Structure formats: C-alpha cells, structure tokens
Amino acid sequence: MISSSNKLIAITGSSGFIGRQLIKALYKNDLKLLVRSVDYSNPVKQIKCDLNSLDIPFSCFSDVSTVFHLAGVAHDMRDASKNKHFYHKANVDATVRLAKLAVKSGVKRFIFISSVKAGGNPGFKMCASEKNQGDPEGIYGDTKREAELKLLEIGRESSMHVSIVRPSLVYGPNAKGNLQLMLSGIKKGWFPPLPEIGNKRSMIHVDDLVRVILLTADDDRANGEIFIATDGTPHSSREIYNAMCSALGKSIPKWSVPKFLFDIASLINPRIKYKLNKLLGDECYSSAKLEALGFKAQKTLKDMNETNF
C-alpha cells in the first residue's frame, strides 16, 4: 500500500492541474518530483528531468517504489500534424524510457495517466467501455495509445505492476482548456445559453480522479489493466452550462439559442463545425470496470459551485 510504503514515490507532471492535487493527497508520503526546472523554494525532493529532450537521469528512480507518470504533451486543438515527432517523443519515447528505467531500478508500481482519446470517440450515443477500442482521436490519441500498448508489454515482461487510467473531461479548481474558456465566456457574458439536446458527455472531478489514481496503484487487480475514469453520470452540455452559471452565482437563463442556428454556423467553416461538435456532441464513457474495483465518485456537477475555477 502507498500509505505504508517507506520508499519514495516519484511523480512526473507534478506542476500540472492533476499533479498538484495528487501531491496534496500524498503529502504524508516521501515524494520525489521529476521536474523540468528545480524550484528551490519547494522543500519536496526534486530531480531535474527534461522528458521532451529525453534527458532522464539514470538515478531518478533510486529508492522509488511507485511512479505516477502524468507528464506529456497535452491535447491541443490546433493542427498537431506539424508536431507529430514532438508528440511521439514526449508521449511515447519518454514514457517507454521511464518505464524501462523503473524496471531496472526495482520500482514496484507504475501508473500511467493516459486519456479517453486513446480509445477514440465512441459516438452513436453509446457510453464506450475499455472494450470498445476504436481509432484513437488525432495524433494525441495515437501517441497515448501507443504508449499504453508498450507499457502493458513492459509490465508483462517484468514483475512491475502497470496500471493505466484514462480520464474523461476533468473539472475542478483552476481547470484549464475548454472548460475554463466556457466558464470565462459565461462570466463575461458572451457565451450563449446552450440548447438542451440531450447529448451525453462524461466528466470527473479532479479529486475523484486522484482517488482513482491511488486506487489503481494500491489494488493488485488493477495490474495490467486500463481503466476509464468518470463520475458515473453522463451530462448534457446544457447541464454543464447551468452548473457553471450556479458556480459563478449567475441566474440560469430561461432561454437558449436554438440548435438550428448552431447547425447553420457549422456549415460556414470546418473549424467552426469541429468546435461545435466538441461542444454539443456526444462523448460518453463507462467507468463500470473501475467501479468493479470499488470506486464510487464523491463529486458531481452539483459540487462545481464548491470549486474555484
């Protein structure tokens, strides 16, 4: 168990949205952070390690029992095809090198934070499980999936426990990306009230995701497995909009922009169509496999008003 380990726990991506929350949950443990630049004001042990250039010290996992690998190139809405080599180097090559070094260093458990993009967009209004493996979404999904497969192979060929977590859309304090953009738009008054079209989108609060990460590290049944992480309840885009209004203390509009206006806008430009599909489309995933380990989300969209976006 992590809580009783007298060895170090190594974390990559500790300065990110999820990483910061993971550190808070592990504050009673001895930690070693693999960082691009050392923060000398931080009392936690740090090792300079630039994954983008594959500059990884051989000693970085000395006396480490568990590795949580969160670092990587995040999903980017811009054209990633121009940076294919960069994505592969950061998301695949660095991950494989870390895992092989972990095996050589005697690390017992290696937890990789991947993405639902590695399994592709389920579509057809179904909530996809880990068994519904489609084509990964974009270069980001491709590289995450390739890293998953290579990690599982490394795990099978060694005695190291390897678990993979695929988070759905993560919300919580200081969330970034599209959620932050949407919240900012609502706050400033330019984001339109969305229509209720009954679409299904999966999400998970960052606190619950951290609980998932720790569970898959502790439970031997998680060895060699991939787990999708959601709060167990699909949400429509309008429900997310309403929750954000409540979080901001704003009254929820009783009207909405008709769906056909969004449809017309999507015909104007392929980029607009892509963004509207991301906003109003279905991205629903099942976390039944994770729930079979005993996981149950403690946060819902109703708790969004307790977060400080």
Q: Which residues of 191-228 are buried (b: 16+ CB within 10 A; e: fewer)?
A: bebbbeeebbbbbbbbbbbbbbbbbbbbbeebeebbbb
Please determine, for residue 309, whether its predicted confidence score (pLDDT) is greater than 70.
no
The predicted pLDDT at position 4 comes to: 45
Which tens digits make up the pLDDT trace of 241-270? 999 999 899 999 999 999 999 999 999 988
The predicted pLDDT at position 125 comes to: 63
Give the count of beta carbons closer than 10 Å to the beta carbon of residue 268. Answer: 9
Q: What is the pTM of this model?
A: 0.92
| Residue 229: closest CA among 304, 285, 302, 293 | 285
Residue 295: pLDDT band (50, 70, 90) is very high
Please determine, for residue 16, whether its predicted confidence score (pLDDT) is greater than 70.
yes
Q: Are 95 and 112 in contact (CB under 8 A)?
A: yes
177 by Cβ neighbours in 10 Å (0-12 / 13-18 / 19+) ranks as: middle
The predicted pLDDT at position 23 comes to: 96
| Residue 237: closest CA among 179, 286, 180, 185 | 179
CA angle 181, 177, 249 (to 5 degrees): 40
Please determine, for residue 93, whether its predicted confidence score (pLDDT) is greater than 90.
yes
Please determine, for residue 3, whether its predicted confidence score (pLDDT) is greater than 50.
no
Question: What number is the average pLDDT over the span 213-220?
Answer: 97
Q: Which residues carry out catalysis?
A: 140
155 by Cβ neighbours in 10 Å (0-12 / 13-18 / 19+) ranks as: buried
The proportion of the chain whose per-residue pLDDT surpasses 70, expressed as a percent, equals 93
Secondary structure class of 228 (helix, strand, coil)? strand
Secondary structure class of 210 (helix, strand, coil)? helix
